[in-house]
Amino acid sequence: MHRVLAETYPEAGCELDFTSPFELLVATVMSAQTTDRRVNAVTPVLFGRYPDATALAAADRADVEEIIRSTGFFRAKTNSILGLSAALVEGFGGEVPGRLEDLVTLPGVGRKTANVVLGNAFDVPGLTVDTHFARLVRRFEWVDGATAKDPVRTEHAVGALFPRQDWTMLSHRLIWHGRRRCHARKPACGACPLARWCPSFGEGPTDPVEAAALVTTQGRA
Catalytic residue among 112, 123, 144, 166: 112
Catalytic residue among 52, 63, 102, 130: 130
Q: How far is CA 197 from the centre of its chain?
A: 25
Which of 187, 170, 169 is closest to 178 using CA atoms?
187
Active-site annotation holds for 102: no
CA distance 89 to 83: 10
SS3 213: coil
**Three-class DSSP labels, 17-45:** CCCCHHHHHHHHHHCCCCCHHHHHHHHHH
Active-site annotation holds for 149: no
DSSP 8-state code for residue 96: P
Locate all alpha helices (DSSP H) within 93-192, ordered by sequence. 100-103, 111-121, 131-139, 145-148, 151-159, 167-180
Tell me if 173 sits within 8 A of 12, measured CB to CB: yes
Question: What is the set of active-site residues?
Answer: 112, 130
